[in-house]
């Protein structure tokens, strides 16, 4: 039987630079293909070409007749009045699913995805739940092929595990772009890397991600050997030509032609293998202090809810902590406590004298109007890195930016490029402790690997919040888990945390079953949070943190002597301060209300 999609020798160019050339790609029944490649290699473009939403410059595309294809883009968007129910209903109506089966398909797919409030407005959902809805919208149509572009970017750990289960049990073919290496290992049965280092622009290997890594290493080793042999051959031929070889005889002419072919092959190999990687290297101080931050019986309460209590923990020199827990468990709040940005409700936090803490904010706030040049070098055309003066062009090149990008505004950068700018800014600040809040989103696998190596070599201490399970396992020397109910436990690694969670869940389910059998059913049940309220509750801690951040900025502005001498500006500053203070108070009140309702 022919493939579902057969793409032959396609090319695509944007501007003067080709994304890829002469690439061939097939998707057959039952394929689960993980598609990877460096940023800018054209992965998303290739997926759009497979989906039929973008044309190629050259090549042929053959699609089997009457094929059903669903495509989930990297960013999910819904119209203002769309609800969860209307989005899925509309998807079912345009599908080939028989009308008699639509109700069952609707209920089963939404139920497994975890949706409760079907009348919730789609555009008001969090990024993770919008992504779930976009995937559900694709699934209910009963596709023969599902195309997914970075589906794990906005999903939390529970969402990633849900998607893994869906794809592992699926009967349809799937092509998924992802940088989540555990996700690829668990889901993909075949891997393909789009990159210019390969002669055909693509390396495809049957097997899991770990098998792909082995085959890639073998291929690159063989290619390196061929490159070395070619260099020796070309050197010999150049020496022969320099001795004055004449093209009068047929034999001499053939040798000259062969030398030309060898030179072309070597030039092609040199061009393809000349690839850049981001150079990430965080600067540690020379501090000799052993205990950097010490938490003694620390508790934190917000809006009447206790995030954690009785926390005793020491961050010592060289310790790398992976901080995990469900949304709303207090991970970001704990980072703010470590920085001294907020105070503990009870307990004590001791910091070493003159401690240098560097923080990566998951909101990735960069001035969109500033140029890349100013974002990388705010004070001139050079930076001071590890006591050396580095020109901004050389500094930009370390993070894979080209010279012509320096005058572009930051707003034109991709998510991965913005993450690299922030990492570049952090590297200029010598640190005793690095606090990283979701640094991995939008980074490609090569950059993730460089970031991991840098963190492993960093001589200071680290507290890392991430949904990338591979990075957690590789980098962390200890895992601190917040259970979302006020408790905190230490684990050797992420898998121990998962096992602990599963055991607690099983014990809770057993207790619930025993209680329900022993006690008569109450005629009135507890009031639970609606779906929208549950989503609001999950994100309200981050909203409070963001509002307090703005409040601090407004308070600082109001105390500026330049404003104090200008009556009009002073009145405006205090009006803005009152407004944001009111917003913070309302958020705290709402948090307490939701907490009380859930209890």
Q: What is the pLDDT of residues 16-74, one digit of tens each?
A: 677 888 899 999 999 999 999 887 788 989 999 999 999 999 999 999 998 999 999 98
Full domain range(s) for residue 233 = 221-273
Half-sphere exposure of 45 (CA within 13 A, CB side): 19
The helix (run of H) or strand (run of E) holding residue 388 is strand 388-391
pTM higher than 0.85 for the full model? no
Nearest CA to 197 among 159, 227, 168?
227
Rounded to whole angstroms, the Cα distance separating 596 from 19 reads 54
> What CATH number is attached to the domain comprising 124?
3.40.50.300
Rounded to whole angstroms, the Cα distance separating 474 from 262 reads 43
268 and 313 share one domain: no
Residues 549-555, mean pLDDT to the nearest whole number: 75
286, part of any domain = no
266 and 335 share one domain: no
Higher pLDDT, 141 or 428: 141
266 and 303 share one domain: no
CB atoms within 10 A of CB 472: 24
pLDDT at 480 over 80: yes
19 and 122 share one domain: yes
493, part of any domain = yes
Domain end call among 213, 231, 259: 213
14 and 150 share one domain: yes
> What CATH number is attached to the domain comprising 560?
1.10.287
519, part of any domain = no
Question: Which pLDDT score is estimated for 514?
Answer: 64
19 and 175 Cβ atoms separated by less than 8 Å: no
- List the 461-465 sheet strands across, edge first: 357-360, 433-437, 461-465, 320-324, 478-482, 488-491
Residues near 355 by Cβ (< 8 Å), separated by ≥ 6? 292, 293, 432, 433
Question: Which residues make beta-bridge pairs with 478?
Answer: 321
pLDDT at 278 over 50: yes
185 and 295 share one domain: no
458 and 540 share one domain: no
Tokens matching residue 354: 């003159």
Nearest CA to 576 among 551, 593, 599, 539?
551
172 and 156 share one domain: yes
Confidence of residue 504 (pLDDT cuts 50, 70, 90): confident
509, part of any domain = no
141 and 249 share one domain: no
348 and 462 share one domain: yes
CB atoms within 10 A of CB 333: 21
Q: Is 7 helix (H, G, I), strand (E, B) or coil?
A: strand
511, part of any domain = no
Domain count, the chain: 4
242 and 259 share one domain: yes
Confidence of residue 522 (pLDDT cuts 50, 70, 90): very low
User: Which of 3-7, 241-245, 246-250, 583-587 reaches the highest mean pLDDT?
Assistant: 3-7
Higher pLDDT, 227 or 519: 227
- List the 305-316 sheet strands across, edge first: 305-316, 291-302, 346-351
Determine the straight-line distance between the first and last CA of the chain, rounded to whole angstroms.
Answer: 58
226 and 191 share one domain: no
What length does the chain have? 599
User: Sign of dihedral through CA atoms 411, 416, 417, 421?
Assistant: positive
Residues near 344 by Cβ (< 8 Å), separated by ≥ 6? 298, 299, 300, 337
283, part of any domain = no
Nearest CA to 501 among 194, 168, 161?
161
Rounded to whole angstroms, the Cα distance separating 131 from 113 reads 11
Domain end call among 185, 213, 241: 213
Rounded to whole angstroms, the Cα distance separating 478 from 462 reads 11
CA 270 to chain centre: 31
Helices 531-558, 567-598: axis angle to 10 degrees equals 150
262, part of any domain = yes
Domain end call among 197, 213, 229: 213
280, part of any domain = no
């Amino acid at each position: 039987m022919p493939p579902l999609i057969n793409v032959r020798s396609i090319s695509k160019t944007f501007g003067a630079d080709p994304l890829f050339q002469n690439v061939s790609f097939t998707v057959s029944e039952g394929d689960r293909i993980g598609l990877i490649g460096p940023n800018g290699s054209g992965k998303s473009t290739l997926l759009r070409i497979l989906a039929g939403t973008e044309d190629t410059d050259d090549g042929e595309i053959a699609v089997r007749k009457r094929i059903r294809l669903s495509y989930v883009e990297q960013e999910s968007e819904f119209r203002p009045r769309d609800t969860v129910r209307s989005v899925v209903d509309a998807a079912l109506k345009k599908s080939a699913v028989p009308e008699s089966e639509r109700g069952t398909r609707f209920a089963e797919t939404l139920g497994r995805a975890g949706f409760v409030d079907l009348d919730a407005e789609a555009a008001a959902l969090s990024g993770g739940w919008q992504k779930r809805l976009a995937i559900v919208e694709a699934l209910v149509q009963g596709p023969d092929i599902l195309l997914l572009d970075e589906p794990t970017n906005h999903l939390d750990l529970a969402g990633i595990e849900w998607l893994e289960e869906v794809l592992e049990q699926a009967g349809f073919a799937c092509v998924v772009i992802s940088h989540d290496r555990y996700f690829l290992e668990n889901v993909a049965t075949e891997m393909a890397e789009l990159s210019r280092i390969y002669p055909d622009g693509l390396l495809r290997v049957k097997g899991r991600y770990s098998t792909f890594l082995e085959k890639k290493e073998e291929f690159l080793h063989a290619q390196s050997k061929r490159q070395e042999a070619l260099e020796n051959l070309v050197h010999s031929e150049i020496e022969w030509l320099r001795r004055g070889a004449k093209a009068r005889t047929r034999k001499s002419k053939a040798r000259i032609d062969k030398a030309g072919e060898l030179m072309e092959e070597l030039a092609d190999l040199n061009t393809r293998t000349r690839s850049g990687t981001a150079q990430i290297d965080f600067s540690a101080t020379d501090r000799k202090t052993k205990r950097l931050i010490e938490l003694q019986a620390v508790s934190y309460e917000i809006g009447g809810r206790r995030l954690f209590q009785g926390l005793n923990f020491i961050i010592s020199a060289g310790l790398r902590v992976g901080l995990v827990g469900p949304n709303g468990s207090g991970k970001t709040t704990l980072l703010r406590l470590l920085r001294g940005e907020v105070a503990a409700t009870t307990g004590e936090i001791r910091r070493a004298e003159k401690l240098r803490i560097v923080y990566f904010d998951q909101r990735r706030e960069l001035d969109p109007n500033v140029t890349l040049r100013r974002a990388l070098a705010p004070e001139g055309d050079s930076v001071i890195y590890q006591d050396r003066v580095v020109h901004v062009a050389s500094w930009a090149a370390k993070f894979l930016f080209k010279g012509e990008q320096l005058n572009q505004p930051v707003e034109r950068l991709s998510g991965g490029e913005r993450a690299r700018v922030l990492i570049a800014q952090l590297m200029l600040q010598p640190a005793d402790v690095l606090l990283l809040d979701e640094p991995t989103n939008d980074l490609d696998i090569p950059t993730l690997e460089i970031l991991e190596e840098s963190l492993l070599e960093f001589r200071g201490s680290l507290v890392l919040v991430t949904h990338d399970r591979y990075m957690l396992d590789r980098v962390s020397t200890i895992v601190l888990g917040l259970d979302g109910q006020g408790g905190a436990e230490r684990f050797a690694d992420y898998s121990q945390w998962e096992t602990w969670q599963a055991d607690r869940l099983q014990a809770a389910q057993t207790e619930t079953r025993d209680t329900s059998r022993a006690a008569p059913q109450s005629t009135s049940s507890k009031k639970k949070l609606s779906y929208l309220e549950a989503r609001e509750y999950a994100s309200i801690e981050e909203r409070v943190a963001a509002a307090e951040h703005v409040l601090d900025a407004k308070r600082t502005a109001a105390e500026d002597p330049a404003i104090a001498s200008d009556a009009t500006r002073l009145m405006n500053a205090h009006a803005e301060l009152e407004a944001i203070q009111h917003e913070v108070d309302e958020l705290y009140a709402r948090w307490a209300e939701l907490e009380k309702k859930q209890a």
